[in-house]
């Protein structure tokens, strides 16, 4: 009898074990096989196209190669793009907008702008942003188009070479990968410097670009070119989307200077630029602003000198510094004089500019040596000095830099420096300058302007010759007049009157005419005063000439221009006058503030458009004006608060004393002490926003204000009933019966921010919660991930489980929060261990009793207990088979739960015997200790979670954790 019972028990347990093994290991093996197949498929896929491993390696190479960018005139003076990069803009309809969305939306774009406008930095910054979060779906490749000069290499060869230089061609298959990527549309081709393609190669390169875009239409193409070179559409209708880079506005200048390393007096430097219109005009070019910051920090501040006030003076200052900096800085003694090195550089620059068949930017070592050898007799040096003189220019002065490791090819760091040196070389040869200009106007245009600014001789002959050319070339005469040091006054008046008469006409170079007239008018000397007065007279009209005159006045940058433009703001040309006034930047702030105090809401918008810290300070000073003005100000100031330098500047405003400040809690987490003026200022902003309506054009405000106000507005929402939850749930895929409130909440928290079903559900939740007006607008101003959190919070407001919104939770979001996940994990595993311990010891003790080895109580009771366990376990497995279809971890937890259920189900029958047998083997102390530790971990973790899990923190973390590349032009 004993053997039969034992055999029966073993058979039953064997069957149960086999069933469990089949369910658990069968699913595991099936998943393992599928995983192996997927891995094999992915391996073959990587052999055919860019996989994540190759993309990661390429991203590492991009970060290494593109993080630093030469300043344009020194090689050891590099800047970190990630630190100093300032987002670019373009102008549309008189307003400035970020360039990035515009370019990303198009598959083929030509980005044009003047020399040094930041076109190359635009491409390199986008490369770095991609490298932070690389994706094989769109891989950017940076190609310098001047490599096409004098070469038979195709564009595909250049792409392959670029990827090869990035160390991706270790197994010799990069060419096949490139062709596959082009066919799949996996590349964004960043083609830099179309203007640097030599004249003999231009047509070939144009055709190559057109053919490449037709053959591989799914790739993204972005070409950069100087605006003076890209006239018409040489790339054809396929590249019809042309974006013109806008010059830096005041906000961009301030941001750039505030990020410049070693510049401790950025605000003071900006004020000096603002007060000098001619200097400020130079600072609107990123290249010239880089020179200003470098010279101010490294040269002028240390010597107590002032900044030059013209472009040519800047180049002269920079080049003089580079040629003399070794002795100036106490470095190695220079063997050759600065004048000798300058003479070589000027001759090299001129010969490079004269080159038409090859690249005008790149020079071979042989050409450098030949040019130097020809010049040495004039310098009273023999031929033995060729190598040493060149080495000192290249290694010490660093105005020429090698483009390859073998040092067989060299280039000037920027074409503008080369053009300036060529202009200086031709200082006494105006006829030679004109001859070269007429042979290639596009290539020599900048050199002519620099020549007029660099020479002290009479420029009348040169400008007169240019003025007699065709109409679309004549504007260069006016631009030269703005640069020239000496020119016949009567002839200058003829040129000025000609272009004043051209205002308002359909001139293809209208923008250049307006800018040039503004430049002449900015001069405080007699000629500038006369032009300024003439522009004021024309601006008083109502025709198109008045419109052009208004923008010319704005381009002058003079404080008097702001008063004239403000006076025009009430006339028929009010919109144009305001646009022109806004474009003056900080120079217009006093006039705009006066208009705002007179209840002109447009002036508030224009102050915000200036966007600088000083503009934010001006807005903060208007917060205690009448409510209509103050509310408008509050919204605009909330827009500006995230901008660099704004907080420190706004702190200079002294808020009035008030007895009650209901919204001071909004800025509490970010305040620098209880007396921080920003507590009261931002509290006033929050109070006005919460009670007012946003003006037109508000798309985002500082999240530090938007989030607390949006969460507070949830307290005014109506709880959603079960009927409303049902109507929302039935529109969502995968949400079935059961606890639909929890299911909808889970769907929202797991959905991507742009998921159409999540957006629809959120809209329904907000609408049925009764949030309207500014309450709903506050939610709409936040990012999609934050909105999903807010929707989930609204679902929690079901009356019985309503969450109390406490302002202290917002005040503590800056505190370091403890992670409770490890405590929860420990608690769960302790409880699982306890379940298994109780179960296995109890079952084991009954088995011993049933076989008579260590009896404890009647054998029939133990046999009945084991039978109940087996039957209960089988029933529960069948009823809950879905649990065993999950992963190994979930299966283990589910199995533990089933086993525990069997034990407790059997305990109903065998009650005290089960507990007694478990305690007999385990011991009360061990069980109590495990239970107490598990309970303690759970209680502490729950307390920590209550601190973390509140609506304020969830929204704030969702906003902070958003990953975006807003300053990237790479689509996808």
**How does pLDDT run across 596-606, given as a tens digit for each residue?**
998 889 899 98
85 or 595, which is more confident: 595
DSSP conformation letters of 503-521: TTS--TTHHHHHHHHHHHH
Q: What share of the chain is helix, strand, coil (3-state, %, to 5)?
A: 65, 5, 30
Nearest CA to 452 among 409, 407, 398, 495? 495
- Number of other residues whose CB lies within 10 A of the CB of residue 450: 23
**Alpha carbons 238 and 937: distance in angstroms, whole number:** 65
The H or E element containing residue 638 is helix 627-640
Q: Which of 304-308, 317-321, 628-632, 861-865 has the lowest mean pLDDT?
A: 861-865
Cβ neighbours of residue 770 closer than 8 Å, sequence gap 6 or more: 716, 717, 718
The H or E element containing residue 400 is strand 400-402
Q: What is the pLDDT of residue 54?
A: 79
**Alpha carbons 72 and 414: distance in angstroms, whole number:** 5
E strands of 242-285, at which residues? 242-244
Q: What is the pLDDT of residue 633?
A: 94
Whether the Cβ atoms of residue 59 and residue 130 lie closer than 8 Å to each other: yes
The residue-averaged pLDDT of 541-558 equals 86
pLDDT of 62 above 70: yes
The H or E element containing residue 187 is strand 187-192
643 or 655, which is more confident: 655
Report helix, strand or coil for 746: helix
**Alpha carbons 707 and 782: distance in angstroms, whole number:** 8
Whether the Cβ atoms of residue 258 and residue 644 lie closer than 8 Å to each other: yes
**Alpha carbons 131 and 756: distance in angstroms, whole number:** 29
Nearest CA to 743 among 764, 722, 719? 722
Cβ neighbours of residue 106 closer than 8 Å, sequence gap 6 or more: 241
Nearest CA to 363 among 349, 376, 344? 349
Tokens read off for 695? 């003006």
Give, rounded to a whole angstrom, the gap between the first and last alpha carbons of the chain: 76
Q: What is the pLDDT of residue 113?
A: 85
List the strands of the sheet with 187-192, edge to edge: 139-144, 187-192, 220-226, 108-113, 242-244
pLDDT in tens, 702-730: 888 988 898 888 877 887 877 888 888 87
Q: Which of 206-220, 247-261, 303-317, 935-949 has the lowest mean pLDDT?
A: 935-949
The H or E element containing residue 223 is strand 220-226
Whether the Cβ atoms of residue 800 and residue 829 lie closer than 8 Å to each other: no
94 or 344, which is more confident: 344
**Alpha carbons 718 and 700: distance in angstroms, whole number:** 26
**Alpha carbons 288 and 73: distance in angstroms, whole number:** 11
pLDDT in tens, 728-744: 887 787 776 666 777 88
Whether the Cβ atoms of residue 580 and residue 565 lie closer than 8 Å to each other: yes
Rounded alpha-carbon distances, angstroms, from residue 41 to 38, 44, 46: 5, 5, 9
pLDDT of 451 above 90: yes
Whether the Cβ atoms of residue 446 and residue 115 lie closer than 8 Å to each other: yes
In this structure, is the dihedral angle defined by the CA atoms of residues 567, 571, 572 and 575, taken in order, positive or negative? positive
Tokens read off for 154? 């195709």
Q: What is the pLDDT of residue 904?
A: 55
Q: What is the pLDDT of residue 534?
A: 93
Q: What is the pLDDT of residue 948?
A: 62
CB-side neighbour CA atoms (13 Å) of 302: 11
Whether the Cβ atoms of residue 186 and residue 139 lie closer than 8 Å to each other: yes
Whether the Cβ atoms of residue 55 and residue 139 lie closer than 8 Å to each other: yes
C-alpha dihedral (294, 298, 302, 307), degrees to nearest 10: -20
CB-side neighbour CA atoms (13 Å) of 453: 23
Q: What is the pLDDT of residue 20?
A: 42
- At 183, give phi and psi (nearest 5°): -65, -35
Determine the distance from the C-alpha atom of residue 455 to the mean position of all C-alpha atoms in its chain, rounded to a whole number. Answer: 43
Q: What is the pLDDT of residue 500?
A: 92
Cβ neighbours of residue 628 closer than 8 Å, sequence gap 6 or more: 599, 601
Q: What is the pLDDT of residue 14?
A: 43
Q: What is the pLDDT of residue 953?
A: 77
**Alpha carbons 783 and 191: distance in angstroms, whole number:** 33
- At 113, give phi and psi (nearest 5°): 175, 170
Rounded alpha-carbon distances, angstroms, from residue 337 to 329, 379, 393, 680, 729: 16, 10, 11, 62, 82
pLDDT of 677 above 70: yes
Q: What is the pLDDT of residue 818?
A: 65
Alpha helices in 413-543, H assignment, sequence order: 415-425, 430-439, 441-454, 460-467, 471-483, 489-502, 510-521, 526-539
Q: Which of 597-611, 798-812, 928-942 has the lowest mean pLDDT?
A: 798-812
**Alpha carbons 874 and 870: distance in angstroms, whole number:** 6
The residue-averaged pLDDT of 252-257 equals 85
Q: What is the pLDDT of residue 479?
A: 87
pLDDT of 698 above 90: no
pTM above 0.75, yes or no: no
The residue-averaged pLDDT of 668-691 equals 89
Beta bridge partners of 265: none
**Alpha carbons 562 and 560: distance in angstroms, whole number:** 5
pLDDT of 908 above 70: no
The H or E element containing residue 111 is strand 108-113
DSSP conformation letters of 753-811: TT-HHHHHHHHHHHHHTT--THHHHHHHTS-HHHHHHHHHHHHH-SSTTPPP--HHHHH
Tokens read off for 959? 């906003």
Q: Which of 186-190, 737-741, 951-955 has the lowest mean pLDDT?
A: 737-741
Q: What is the pLDDT of residue 190?
A: 93
Angle at which helices 338-354 and 441-454 cross, to 10°? 150
Tokens read off for 46? 């990587």
Cβ neighbours of residue 279 closer than 8 Å, sequence gap 6 or more: 272, 273, 292, 307, 309
**Alpha carbons 144 and 409: distance in angstroms, whole number:** 15
Tokens read off for 27? 């699913």
Mean per-residue pLDDT over the chain, rounded = 78
């Amino acid at each position: 009898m004993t053997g039969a019972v034992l055999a029966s028990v073993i058979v039953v347990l064997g069957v149960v074990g086999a069933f469990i093994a089949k369910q658990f290991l069968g699913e595991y093996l099936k998943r393992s096989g599928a995983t192996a197949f997927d891995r094999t498929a992915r391996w073959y896929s990587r052999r055919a196209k860019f996989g994540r491993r190759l993309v990661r390696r390429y991203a590492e190479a991009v970060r290494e190669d593109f993080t630093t960018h030469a300043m344009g005139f020194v090689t050891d003076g590099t800047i970190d793009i990630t630190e100093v990069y300032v987002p670019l803009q373009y102008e549309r309809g008189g307003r400035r907008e970020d360039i990035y969305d515009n370019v990303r939306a198009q598959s083929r774009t030509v980005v044009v702008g003047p020399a040094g406008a930041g076109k190359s930095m635009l491409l390199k910054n986008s490369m770095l942003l991609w490298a932070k979060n690389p994706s094989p779906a769109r891989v950017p490749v940076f190609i310098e188009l001047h490599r096409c000069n004098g070469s038979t290499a195709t564009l595909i060869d250049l792409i392959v070479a670029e990827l090869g230089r990035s160390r991706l061609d270790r197994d010799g298959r990069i060419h096949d990968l490139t062709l596959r990527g082009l066919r799949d549309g996996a590349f964004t081709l960043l083609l830099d410097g179309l203007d640097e393609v030599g004249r003999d190669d231009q047509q070939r390169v144009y055709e190559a670009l057109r053919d490449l875009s037709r053959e591989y239409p799914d790739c993204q193409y972005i070409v950069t070119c100087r605006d003076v070179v890209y006239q018409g559409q040489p790339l054809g209708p396929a590249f019809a989307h042309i974006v013109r880079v806008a010059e830096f506005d005041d906000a961009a200048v301030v941001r750039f200077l505030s990020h410049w390393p070693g510049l401790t007096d950025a605000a003071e430097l900006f004020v000096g630029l603002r007060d000098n219109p001619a200097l400020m005009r130079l600072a609107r070019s990123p290249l010239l602003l880089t020179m200003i910051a470098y010279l101010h920090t490294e040269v002028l501040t240390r010597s107590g000198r002032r900044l030059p006030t013209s472009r040519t003076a800047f180049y002269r200052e920079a080049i003089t510094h580079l040629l003399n900096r070794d002795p100036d800085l106490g470095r190695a003694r220079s063997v050759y004089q600065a004048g000798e090195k300058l003479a070589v550089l000027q001759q090299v620059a001129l010969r490079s500019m004269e080159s038409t068949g090859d690249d005008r930017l790149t020079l071979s070592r042989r050409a450098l040596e030949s040019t130097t050898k020809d010049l040495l007799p004039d310098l009273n040096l023999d031929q033995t000095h060729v190598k040493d003189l060149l080495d000192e220019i290249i290694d010490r002065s660093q105005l020429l830099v090698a483009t390859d490791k073998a040092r067989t090819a060299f280039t000037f760091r920027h074409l503008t420096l080369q053009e300036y040196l060529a202009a200086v070389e031709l200082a006494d040869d105006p006829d030679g300058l004109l001859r070269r200009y007429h042979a290639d106007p596009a290539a020599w245009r900048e050199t002519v302007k620099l020549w007029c600014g660099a020479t002290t001789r009479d420029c009348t002959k040169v400008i007169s010759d240019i003025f007699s050319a065709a109409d679309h070339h004549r504007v260069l005469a006016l631009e030269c007049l703005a640069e020239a040091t000496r020119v016949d006054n009567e002839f200058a008046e003829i040129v000025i009157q000609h272009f004043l008469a051209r205002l308002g006409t359909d001139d293809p170079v209208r923008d250049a005419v307006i800018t040039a007239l503004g430049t002449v008018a900015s001069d405080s000397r007699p000629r500038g005063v006369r032009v300024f007065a003439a522009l004021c007279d024309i601006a008083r009209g109502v025709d198109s000439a008045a419109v052009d005159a208004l923008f010319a006045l704005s381009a002058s940058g003079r404080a008097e221009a702001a008063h004239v433009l403000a006076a025009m703001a009430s006339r028929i040309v009010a919109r144009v006058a305001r646009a022109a006034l806004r474009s003056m930047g900080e120079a217009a702030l006093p006039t705009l503030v006066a208009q705002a105090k007179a209840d002109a809401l447009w002036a508030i918008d224009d102050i915000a458009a200036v966007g600088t810290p000083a503009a934010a300070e001006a807005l903060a000073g208007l917060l205690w004006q009448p409510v209509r003005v103050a509310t408008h100000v509050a919204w605009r100031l909330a827009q500006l608060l995230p901008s660099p330098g704004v907080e420190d500047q706004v702190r200079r405003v002294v808020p009035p004393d008030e007895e009650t400040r209901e919204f001071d809690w909004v800025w509490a987490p970010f305040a620098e002490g209880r007396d921080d003026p920003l507590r009261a200022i931002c509290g006033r902003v929050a109070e006005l926003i919460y009670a007012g309506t946003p003006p037109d054009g508000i798309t985002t405000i500082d999240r530090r204000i938007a989030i607390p106000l949006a969460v507070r507005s949830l307290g005014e929402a109506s709880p959603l009933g079960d009927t409303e939850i049902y109507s929302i749930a039935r529109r969502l895929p995968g949400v079935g019966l059961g606890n639909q409130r929890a299911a909808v909440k889970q769907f929202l928290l797991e959905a991507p921010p742009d998921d159409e079903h999540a957006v629809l559900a959120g809209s329904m939740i907000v609408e049925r919660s009764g949030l309207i007006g500014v309450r709903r607008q506050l939610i709409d101003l936040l990012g999609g991930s934050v909105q999903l959190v807010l929707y989930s919070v609204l679902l929690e407001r079901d009356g019985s489980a309503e969450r109390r919104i406490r302002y202290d939770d917002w005040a503590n979001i800056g505190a370091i929060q403890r992670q409770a996940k490890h405590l929860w994990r420990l608690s769960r595993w302790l409880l699982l261990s306890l379940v298994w311990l109780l179960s296995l010891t109890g079952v084991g003790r009954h088995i011993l009793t049933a076989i008579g080895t260590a009896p404890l109580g009647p054998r029939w009771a133990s046999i009945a207990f084991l039978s109940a366990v087996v039957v209960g376990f089988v029933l529960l497995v069948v009823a809950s088979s879905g649990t065993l279809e999950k992963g190994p971890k979930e299966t283990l937890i589910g199995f533990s739960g089933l086993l525990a259920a069997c034990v407790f189900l059997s305990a109903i029958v065998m009650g005290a015997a089960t507990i007694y047998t478990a305690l007999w083997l385990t011991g009360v102390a061990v069980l109590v200790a495990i239970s107490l530790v598990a309970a303690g971990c759970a209680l502490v973790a729950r307390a920590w979670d209550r601190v973390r899990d509140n609506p304020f923190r969830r929204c704030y973390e969702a906003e902070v954790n958003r990953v975006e590349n807003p300053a990237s032009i790479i689509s996808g």
